[in-house]
Amino acid sequence: MKKIYIIYERAGRIEDVKGGIYLENKLLVRKQLLFTTIIATLVLCACAKEKTVSDDVSTEENRTVSDGVSIEENSDLAASQEETDVIDHTKSPKSREEVNIDAESAALYDKFLADEVKTTFYKKGDNSDYFFLSAFLKDGENYTLSEIIDGEISYRRDKYQENLKFDVFKDSYIDCGLDGDIEMVVEIYFEESHFPLYMIIKNVAGSLKVCFAGSNSGRQYTDIDYNGVVSEYLSFGCESNIENYAYIDAKGDYNSWYENDNERFFGGDEGDTLYDCFNVDSNIFRGVEELRVSFIRFDNEQEYAQFFLLDDYDGEEIDDVPINGVNPYDEARKILTEKGYPIISSEEATALIDNRRREIGLTDEIYSY
């Protein structure tokens, strides 16, 4: 059972610290909606609305990281918040003052923010679908913060004719695997955009590496928890949404956990995707307007159909009983199985997810933090 909770993000103003650049962290509240059950996910898809936080920023002074890239000093960002069931503060990344970070890591992180050291980029763990880091950064190559920012600006200008301008970055801190070694989360914002680029950066034997890169967009949410669990929600409109879960372990390695793909197939007046996708005659699903299916997959391995519902033309859920001698659920079960999607119960799905969680090193203790 997933919680609905509020994630606390960090925002702040830039100050000089020993010749580097440091963000004095403040709290910015942003609502991140995670659905309480898979059923709720599917039902809410039709009317889910994204809430973004306005990043109205007043500029007092500019400092330069590299040619063409300026970093602005911000006033406190306005916080906005909606009603929610549970507020979970402990899962959030923390400020520098809230963590016990070793001197070497602190110095390296400060130097990276000041553009004095580079970090190694790896394509594994790059889920920056909105920013496409893998399109212009090479796997295993080293980059400064400004090189990453400049690369994004150049890529978007050349590929999409966009005129991006860098706004501000923000730092916060997590403990992947709860081993006591602190990782840094860097959020990069561009002007006139509420959507950040996220990077998790780790000190590995005196060198920095990018463990994960993610992004938010109009259809995508990314949540980074203090223990290294990463949750991503991607919507393709009302017909499909995907929840992807991964774990950054204590070594800084990206581990895919599982993916939950929620699909809606329509028949009748809403279209014919129900018949086209399953390659069946419309008479088989006579009286059925919609089939909702939740697929579970593990790192490109076997997919399972964990849950499905059938609705009639009045939008009412159809009972799992014969209608005029034919049970449409039996037909759906047969078709899904023939298409290679074994149907499993919610208990079986939970067991598979828990087994995979332990396989990637996400122990009960770390997961329950």
Cα–Cα dist 92/10, whole Å? 9
Range of the domain at 305: 261-352
Residue 193 gets the label, from left (phi > 0), alpha (psi -120 to 50) or beta, of beta
pTM to 2 decimals?
0.73
Q: Is the pLDDT of residue 184 over 70?
A: yes
Q: Which of 22-26, 84-88, 119-123, 316-320 has the lowest mean pLDDT?
A: 22-26
Kindly tell me the burial class for residue 20, based on how many C-beta atoms sit within 10 Å of its own C-beta (0-12, 13-18, 19 or more).
Answer: middle
Q: Final residue of a domain: which of 233, 252, 271? A: 252
Does residue 151 sit in the same domain as residue 290?
no
Question: Which of 120, 100, 101, 90 is closest to 200 using CA atoms?
Answer: 120
Same domain, 198 and 276: no
Confidence band for 123, pLDDT divided at 50, 70 and 90: very high
Cα Rg of the chain (Å, integer): 23
Q: Can you give the pLDDT at residue 284?
A: 63
Q: pLDDT digit string (tens) for 187-243? A: 999 987 788 999 999 999 999 999 999 998 878 889 999 999 999 998 887 778 999
Are both 204 and 307 inside the same structural domain? no
Upper half-sphere CA count for residue 149 (Cβ side, 13 Å): 28
For the segment 157-175, the average pLDDT, to the nearest whole number, is 92
248 and 268 share a domain?
A: no
pLDDT at 46: 38
| pLDDT tens digits, one per residue of 308-330 | 888 888 888 888 888 777 788 88
Mean pLDDT, the chain, whole residue set: 76
Total of domains in the chain: 2
Q: 359 lies in a domain?
A: no
* Percentage of residues of the chain with pLDDT beyond 90: 46
Please tell me what DSSP assigns to residue 180. S
Find the range with the poorest average confidence among 14-18, 78-82, 90-94, 329-333. Answer: 14-18
pLDDT tens track for 9-53: 233 322 222 222 222 232 222 223 333 333 333 333 433 333 333
335-344 pLDDT, tens digit each: 888 888 899 9
Residues whose CB falls within 8 Å of the CB of residue 213, separated by 6 or more in sequence, listed in order:
121, 125, 126, 127, 128, 131, 133, 197, 198, 199, 200
Q: Is residue 266 part of a domain?
A: yes
pLDDT of residue 169: 95
Residue 319, domain member (yes or no): yes
Q: From CA 261, how far away is CA 357, in angstroms rounded?
A: 18
Sign of CA dihedral 16, 21, 25, 26: positive
Does position 85 have pLDDT exceeding 70, yes or no?
Answer: no
Contacts of 347 (CB under 8 A, 6+ apart): none
